[in-house]
A and B are shown apart, each in its own frame.
Chain A
Amino acid sequence: MKQRAIAVAYAGLAAALLQGAQPVDFNRDIRPIMSDTCFRCHGPDKSSRMMGMRLDLREEATKPTHSGVTPIVPGDPDKSAIIQRIFEKNPARAMPPQMAHKTLTEAQKETIRRWVAEGAKYEGHWAYEPVKRPAVPEVSNDSIVNPIDNFIQERLAKEGLQPSAEADRRTLIRRVTFDLTGLPPTAAEVEAFQKDASADAYEKLVDRLLSSQAYAEEQARHWLDAVRYADTAGFHGDNRYPVWPYRDYVLRAFLNNKPFDEFTREQLAGDLMPNATVDQKVASAYNRLNRVSAEGGLQPKEYLAKYGADRVRTLSAVWLGSTLGCAECHDHKFDPFKSKDFYSMKAFFADVKETGLVSDRGADAWGSKLSLPSVEQKQRLSELDAQIEASKKALDAKVTATSAADRAAWEKGILARHEAGELAWSYQRPTSAKSLNGTRLTIYNDEPADSNFYLSTSNGSTLMSEHKPGQGLVIASGADPDKETYIVTFRPGEGAWTALGIEVVQDESLPGNRLARGADRFLLTEVDATVGKGAKLAFSLATASDSFGQMPENAPMTVIDGDSSTGWGISFGEARNPFIALRLAQPLKTNSGTVVTVRLHHDSEYRRATIGRFRLALSKAQYSWPENGESGVKFKARKGDDGVLTTAAERGLPAKVDEALKLPEDKRSDEQKKLIARHYAWSNPEFADLNIQLAKLETARGILQSQIPQVLVTEATEPRVTRILPRANWMDDTNEIVQPAVPGFLGKLDTGRRIANRLDLGNWLVDPANPLTPRAFVNRQWRQFFGIGLSKTIEDLGSQGEWPTHLELLDWLAAEFVLPTWRADGTHAWDVKHLLRTIVMSHTYRQTSIGNPQLDERDPDDRLLARQRPFRVDAEVVHDTALSISGLLVDRFGGPSVRPYEPEGYLAAMNFPKREYSASHGEDLYRRGLYTEWQRTFLHPSLLNFDAPTREECAVSRVASNTPLQALDLLNDPIFVEAARVFAQRILQQGGRDINRQIGWAFEQAVDRQPTQREEQILAELHRESLAKFRSATADARAFTSEGESPVAKDVKPADLAAMTTVARAILNMHETITRN
């Protein structure tokens, strides 16, 4: 049983170390045992209570049960049923029962017996008792800096232990810089600190760090874990949603030290605050950070239940340090939360405007959003709106000014020409099709081509296959470069042409909405055409087939605007066979021998946004409409029938206009009249200038619109009914309806007759009388600075959580956080910086972490805090550290999320849409890990390898494992190889002339110290070996040093750079480099 006793000591350190010295304390000594071994069957949950015996309340435990036994007779263990049963020798009768797989140690049994003998005194659970500021213990020791040290050292004295000395300055600055900013200090900062002889050198350092942007970035990161901030929706298609402005709100809150009570209220209920500011509305995105689903066939009611429950779990973990989520199915088994409490808390969020099935595309995607234009953007937008308005008016006026007779003649003419086939596009049969970057283009003129496509039917989509002549179809295959230009030539024969058409043809085998070869959309950035060897043809107007939800910035005019950063694109679900018409400024006359060359450019930032299949067409008419393939489909029937597909090019008039024109004028609806008028204007050459002007303006507006950030926000609506769902069964509508309320045992909101709302909830969370919020927050913060919380169960301060090692300290800090009184000048209530400053200023924090045999024996896990402890830095910090040391890190605060390099095919298991990852370029590749786009179902592998949470669920603490995948990542991940090379460039440029000096300099940069002689030897040897190899293999040297987008130093020999890169890489891989000590 010896092992068990040790295990208990570990679980309840306080008890083990002090046992025998003082009376048994219920909360410290008894509750943890009973909670783990008794309460499941004899606790708060009535539904699972055995034999009617309840042991978590004294009143219940000391009276006879219905079967006549008295569980506890205070002062008389021998008469107490629980004592008899726990000491019972017969395993069939002994408690806890075998089926529970729980055993009590002899020591635990004795403790319980002593407690009963001493009178079985109960206490309320510590975490639920009000926070009272404990008196600071008197301890005299030179090392004491602030009350934290008094609490810690008083305990150490009782244990006969001494605090450790302060760490050396180098360790200290590394530690506090990592902890406060998530970055290592620079060599210059270390040197300055080491040289600063003033008494307040450390304090100045702390204040410098606390006021930095990096501080806000690091603290925000922890908060974002807790509130499960991510950039994607989390379920099923896991598409991107706009939420990064919320992240920036959090950044600013930490930067400006926003009081935590305000921070809390704004997130929960920013939208409900009187005269809510934009910032407060953005903060309310908090309520929208849960995962949402766009999976077809889901039952909305079920998902509304999921979203609500998610919010309760998150709030409970983040603010209350409680596992209220357990009460979704039943009363809590260990803590006094009732199932009703869970649903009453959920009811606070019943007013959040949302749907169960959440649309993930189109203008209405994701529900309530807020646009956040800059002043300039706002100005420009209103200018454009005015111009568009004027332009539309001018068009309307011109249409109105035309005579009825002219209109009638036009109507008759266009119908006749359409029926005679004169409006039809004529497919061109390419004579050659080449690419600039290696894509193979195959022409199918009369040759049959296989096509697989989805066809809309009454039952959704059906996959169809066809094998028929291609009619000028060009299919891309083979190499799949990120950017590509297709060059296609054809001979149109004799004619005079008014427009060039491009039909993009869907195929199921293509990933991007079955249209593009890679990205979730194709993006055609420019199109140009030449005749023979002549100049480029001028296009005046680009029009595409109607497609719902097309991104406004991808308007057709972008392919003829001469700007290769803009393009026409269609993404997932927007259209099937989209068609674009490029009107020629002057008709193109051709003869039988004329060769036309068309170039389709794909130069966008999206990787492989290249068209997979297409046809080219010309039109002679004024003008042929670019009808797309889907609405152009004539679909006769299902099986057995010949389903006939008309292709886009066979039509030149919108189907709806055709239909409307065939009706007598008095039978046409207003909508149809408008359609006709619009088409009249579009196809009339006299309107061309106005059409072009309007298209340009609308395109400019679309591009501007896409540049304006948007953010999900909370919008309040009529609250949905919230019922208690038995066993969380969302289909059960029979139970009690509940109103918003806080858990009963924690109090009651005083809102008079008004139904409580989220703002009341926010106020209650940060009411100084709430015992849980400050304790949960302080405990979580403590973990950041010592590697473990004062109670190690960050997520659970309840009955099953760990009794804090230093409860009085936790309470002192909680009280100090809510209302500073210790060195309170310049502080405010709920002052986060004051809290963190107090922690890092303490001697306890500043102690050395170096090995000490006595402590190894007495307190191997450093729970008594007689010294500091080393730990590996978090995933983002691993990344940022390498970038910072190398000099690659880009210091930019906030902004849209970024996409670092990611392995090819990593997202292959995703769908709706299928997609390929497009890494960012330029500076965005080297931003802090905090800004990495958080893809919930496939988090960036490097983050995952180093234990970052996916943020599908709230995560208030991270594990820190040590695995071979981490080694592979640091060794081979391109970003780390690139960082090593850039670091090597710096070493060669700045590190001195010989290898020993260079190694010394590099060591200083990375770990702020000089290497030992042995360390220097190890690296010098690696350098020698590398140099020998690379001198004889220059191509390998070039290959090794060409990783990444950052420029390679030109003035260095490849072999020298490659050899130094191996040295830099070894340094970046050292355990010390990624350890905060």
Chain B
Amino acid sequence: MNPEETALGANRRTFLRNGLGTLGMFALNSLLRGGQDNAQDKWKGVVNPLHFPQKAKRVIFLYQAGGPSHLETFDYKPKLAALHGQGMPESFTTGQQIAQLQGKQLICFGPQYGFKKFGKSGQEICELFPHIGGVADDVCIIRSMWTEQINHDPAHTIMNTGMILPGRPSMGSWILYGLGAETENLPGFVVLVSSGKGGQMQPIAARQWSAGFLPSKFQGVKFNAVGDPVLYIDTPKGLGHDLQKASIDAINALNREQYAALKDPEILTRVSQYEMAFRMQASVPDLVDMSKEPASVLEMYGAKPGDGSFASNCLLARRLAERGVRFIQLYHRDWDHHSGIKENIPIKAQETDRATAALITDLKQRGMLDDTIVIWGGEFGRTPMSQGDGRDHHIKGFSFMVAGGGFKGGMTYGATDELGYAAVENPISVHDFHATMMYLLGIDHKRLTVKYQGQDARLTFTSGEVVQPILV
């Protein structure tokens, strides 16, 4: 039995509409506290107590959507350069899945840019990322990621939910469900999306931050660059703050009257949700207002307030982290370099390098890096083989960069083979990565489960091992 089921079993009349009845509990906190709706109505998480000592309290996932090339970012392959233009040895590729290169001749395509050693640790990073190089001693480079899905849509789905079938909760939803958030005035799981130039802009789907079979309370709330920062956060035009407040007070007063008559605890939950909605209305504008950030900080990130850029989102991520949001996911798009990788990779590097490094530096200066996990990576990597002057999708080996929250700094872990094709040394699956991230958050990935379709469903499906060597 899961702890939440236990708590639920001990409960009063609850609202359980289906097989996921175990999840009805969040609606009942007010009742557990003596029938009063009060300010402590927030979801505390089901992993309580924690399974492991908690190293990290929150996650900022800088999700580079489209599939960044590991060969022009974090995985230096001089041998591939030497074989540039020659046929890819068949021993690497026979029987392997490929995407757009189906039926085409496979030619080695050398790294398009040089690598340099950075920091005291001497980590090898592509010369296009000097700022990340500047924080090389704080980051851990993983060169041995692999995944199962070679097309964007399913690859995004598995990277986010651990499974290719839709309907599963995303990692942010699991973590919010497991741990709750430290804020009551903002959603506990926030998604920011930016795009730039220099690559095919692949679509992403709301499934990637969906709560799946968990209640929508745990879904990622996407902040928007245009219009309302959060959908429906703005008071209707002409109404004004005071009448919005008066209206919510009236609605809550009416609902309390109903509660007095019917004693249905769901009514009190409704009251507290309206209160929280009002607090969100007050806190979101303050959150997104960057005018009080010092010029030096804006400069460090390369952010212009209101431009919706990756840099602005990195700064916003720090502000969300400060306010107690549990899981912050930044999508930066158009990394899909089927062609023109040489021309385009520098554009993507310019868009992300400085802001990523600034975020790590900023968190460190504020003493938050130790308990904040920062992740930089996408849904897969790219082929060592050419596709014209670009690279195709690749799943057998690619790179992630992680920092903070209990990850070792100044370290490179795992390796692909000499041509950057397959992860051969300490390969890390998507599930392993999820397991490791959850471990740092104090969660045993095998124990945070919900009964779904007869299984104890979990983020890591049926596998996943914590990667201890990269942890402090």
Interface of chain A: mostly helix, strand, loop or mixed: loop
Q: Which residue of B lies closest to A10 (CB)?
A: B9
Interface string of B213-231 (1 = CB under 8 A from A): 1111101010011111011
Identify which of residues 218-260 in chain A touch chain B, using a CB-to-CB cut-off of 8 Å: 234-238
Within 8 Å of chain A (Cβ to Cβ): is B97? Answer: yes
* B262 engages A850 (CB within 8 Å): yes
Q: Which of A11, A235, A861, A949 contacts B153 (CB 8 A)?
A: A235
* A961 engages B27 (CB within 8 Å): yes
Give the chain B neighbours of A1037 by CB distance below 8 A. Answer: 238
* B340 engages A788 (CB within 8 Å): no
Q: Which of B253, B269, B453 contacts A796 (CB 8 A)?
A: B453
Interface string of B231-256 (1 = CB under 8 A from A): 11111111110111011101101110
* B277 engages A909 (CB within 8 Å): no
* A295 engages B9 (CB within 8 Å): no
Give Cα A789–Cα B17 distance, bound, in whole angstroms. Answer: 8
Identify which of residues 768-805 in chain A touch chain B, using a CB-to-CB cut-off of 8 Å: 783, 787-789, 792-796, 798-802
Give the chain A neighbours of B119 by CB distance below 8 A. Answer: none
Q: Which of B202-210, B416-424, B435-443 contacts A (4 or more CB under 8 A)?
A: B202-210
Within 8 Å of chain A (Cβ to Cβ): is B112? Answer: no
* A1022 engages B247 (CB within 8 Å): yes
Q: If A459-B387, A861-B14, A909-B193 touch, does A334 touch B231 (CB 8 Å cutoff)?
A: no
Give the chain B neighbours of A1036 by CB distance below 8 A. Answer: 238-240
* B165 engages A462 (CB within 8 Å): no
Give Cα A462–Cα B390 distance, bound, in whole angstroms. Answer: 10
* A7 engages B1 (CB within 8 Å): yes
Choose among A101, A103, A964, A972 the residue with the greatest number of B CB atoms under 10 Å from its CB.
A964
Q: If A236-B153, A1019-B250, A1072-B258 touch, does A962 touch B202 (CB 8 Å cutoff)?
A: no
Give Cα A10–Cα B455 distance, bound, in whole angstroms. Answer: 18
Within 8 Å of chain A (Cβ to Cβ): is B295? Answer: no
Within 8 Å of chain A (Cβ to Cβ): is B349? Answer: no
* B267 engages A796 (CB within 8 Å): no
Q: Which residue of B lies closest to A966 (CB)?
A: B273
* A11 engages B1 (CB within 8 Å): yes
Give Cα A969–Cα B216 distance, bound, in whole angstroms. Answer: 13
* A903 engages B216 (CB within 8 Å): no
* A461 engages B339 (CB within 8 Å): yes
* B100 engages A296 (CB within 8 Å): yes
Q: Which residue of B lies closest to A325 (CB)?
A: B453
Q: If A957-B17, A969-B232 touch, does A856 touch B250 (CB 8 Å cutoff)?
A: no
* B12 engages A860 (CB within 8 Å): yes
Choose among B207, B238, B258, B446 the residue with the greatest number of A CB atoms under 10 Å from its CB.
B238
Give the chain B neighbours of A8 by CB distance below 8 A. Answer: 1, 9
Nearest Cβ on chain A to B462's Cβ, whole angstroms? 9
Q: If A905-B224, A952-B207, A1025-B243 touch, does A959 touch B454 (CB 8 Å cutoff)?
A: no
Nearest Cβ on chain B to A359's Cβ, whole angstroms? 16
Q: Which of A527-535, A623-631, A697-705, A938-946 contacts B (4 or more CB under 8 A)?
A: A938-946
Give Cα A960–Cα B446 distance, bound, in whole angstroms. Answer: 26
Give the chain A neighbours of B288 by CB distance below 8 A. Answer: none
* B16 engages A792 (CB within 8 Å): yes
Give the chain B neighbours of A949 by CB distance below 8 A. Answer: 167
* A911 engages B446 (CB within 8 Å): no
* B201 engages A911 (CB within 8 Å): yes
* A947 engages B18 (CB within 8 Å): no
Within 8 Å of chain B (Cβ to Cβ): is A955? Answer: yes
Within 8 Å of chain B (Cβ to Cβ): is A166? Answer: no
Within 8 Å of chain A (Cβ to Cβ): is B286? Answer: no
Within 8 Å of chain A (Cβ to Cβ): is B280? Answer: yes
Q: Which residue of A lies closest to B387 (CB)?
A: A459
Give the chain A neighbours of B388 by CB distance below 8 A. Answer: 457-460, 462
Give the chain A neighbours of B166 by CB distance below 8 A. Answer: 234, 291, 950, 952-953
Within 8 Å of chain A (Cβ to Cβ): is B131? Answer: no
* A937 engages B266 (CB within 8 Å): no
Q: If A6-B10, A860-B14 touch, does A326 touch B455 (CB 8 Å cutoff)?
A: yes
Within 8 Å of chain A (Cβ to Cβ): is B88? Answer: no
* B389 engages A459 (CB within 8 Å): yes
Q: If A860-B14, A1029-B240 touch, does A967 touch B273 (CB 8 Å cutoff)?
A: yes
Q: Which of B5, B102, B231, B246 contacts A941 (CB 8 A)?
A: B231
Give Cα A794–Cα B451 distance, bound, in whole angstroms. Answer: 13
* A1029 engages B339 (CB within 8 Å): no
Give the chain B neighbours of A906 by CB distance below 8 A. Answer: 224, 231
Give Cα A296–Cα B331 distance, bound, in whole angstroms. Answer: 22
Q: If A101-B447, A458-B388, A973-B232 touch, does A968 touch B99 (CB 8 Å cutoff)?
A: no
Give Cα A6–Cα B262 distance, bound, in whole angstroms. Answer: 26
Within 8 Å of chain A (Cβ to Cβ): is B85? Answer: no
Q: Which of A234, A861, A957, A973 contacts B18 (CB 8 A)?
A: A957
Give the chain A neighbours of B219 by CB distance below 8 A. Answer: 944
Within 8 Å of chain A (Cβ to Cβ): is B11? Answer: yes
Q: Which of A9, A306, A964, A1077 contacts B9 (CB 8 A)?
A: A9
Give the chain B neighbours of A101 by CB distance below 8 A. Answer: 444, 446-447, 449
Q: If A101-B446, A796-B19, A871-B17 touch, does A1040 touch B238 (CB 8 Å cutoff)?
A: yes
Give Cα A461–Cα B263 distance, bound, in whole angstroms. Answer: 64
* A939 engages B153 (CB within 8 Å): no
Within 8 Å of chain B (Cβ to Cβ): is A1039? Answer: yes
Give the chain B neighbours of A965 by CB distance below 8 A. Answer: 187, 216, 221, 231-232, 277
Nearest Cβ on chain B to A32's Cβ, whole angstroms? 11
* B5 engages A1066 (CB within 8 Å): no
Interface string of A902-934 (1 = CB under 8 A from B): 011110111110100000000000000000000
Within 8 Å of chain A (Cβ to Cβ): is B393? Answer: yes
Give Cα A908–Cα B203 distance, bound, in whole angstroms. Answer: 9
Give the chain A neighbours of B151 by CB distance below 8 A. Answer: 236, 293, 295, 297-298
Q: If A909-B193, A912-B203, A1070-B251 touch, does A861 touch B243 (CB 8 Å cutoff)?
A: no
Give Cα A1076–Cα B190 distance, bound, in whole angstroms. Answer: 32
* B5 engages A904 (CB within 8 Å): no
Within 8 Å of chain A (Cβ to Cβ): is B376? Answer: no
* B238 engages A297 (CB within 8 Å): no
Within 8 Å of chain B (Cβ to Cβ): is A1014? Answer: yes
Q: Which of B6, B16, B453 contacts A4 (CB 8 A)?
A: B6
Within 8 Å of chain B (Cβ to Cβ): is A287? Answer: no
Q: Which residue of A lies closest to B234 (CB)?
A: A972
Q: If A1018-B250, A1062-B239, A1069-B251 touch, does A6 touch B9 (CB 8 Å cutoff)?
A: yes
* A870 engages B193 (CB within 8 Å): no
Interface string of B331-352 (1 = CB under 8 A from A): 1010000111000100000000
Q: If A861-B13, A958-B17 touch, does A972 touch B236 (CB 8 Å cutoff)?
A: yes
Within 8 Å of chain A (Cβ to Cβ): is B113? Answer: no
Give the chain A neighbours of B23 by CB distance below 8 A. Answer: 959, 961
Within 8 Å of chain A (Cβ to Cβ): is B307? Answer: no
Interface string of B453-465 (1 = CB under 8 A from A): 1110000000000
Within 8 Å of chain B (Cβ to Cβ): is A688? Answer: no
Interface string of A153-169 (1 = CB under 8 A from B): 00000000000000000
Q: Which of B225, B227, B254, B444 contacts A903 (CB 8 A)?
A: B227
Please, could you name 27 A-B residue pairs with CB atoms under 8 Å apart, sorted by A? Answer: A6-B9, A297-B151, A323-B455, A335-B454, A457-B388, A459-B338, A459-B339, A460-B338, A463-B339, A731-B97, A787-B16, A795-B19, A800-B451, A855-B13, A856-B13, A862-B13, A905-B227, A909-B205, A938-B205, A938-B206, A953-B167, A961-B27, A967-B273, A969-B231, A1021-B250, A1062-B239, A1070-B251
- 3 closest Cβ pairs, A-B complex: A459-B388, A1039-B238, A800-B454
Which residues does B use to contact A, with CB under 8 Å?
A: 1, 5-21, 23, 26-27, 95, 97, 99-100, 102, 150-154, 164-167, 187, 193, 201-207, 210, 213-217, 219, 221, 224-228, 230-240, 242-244, 246-248, 250-251, 253-255, 257-258, 262-264, 266-267, 269-270, 273-274, 276-277, 280-281, 331, 333, 338-340, 344, 387-390, 392-393, 444, 446-447, 449, 451, 453-455
Knowing that A323-B455, A460-B338, A937-B207 touch, tell me 5 more A-B residue pairs with CB under 8 angstroms.
A7-B5, A909-B205, A937-B206, A1070-B254, A1071-B267
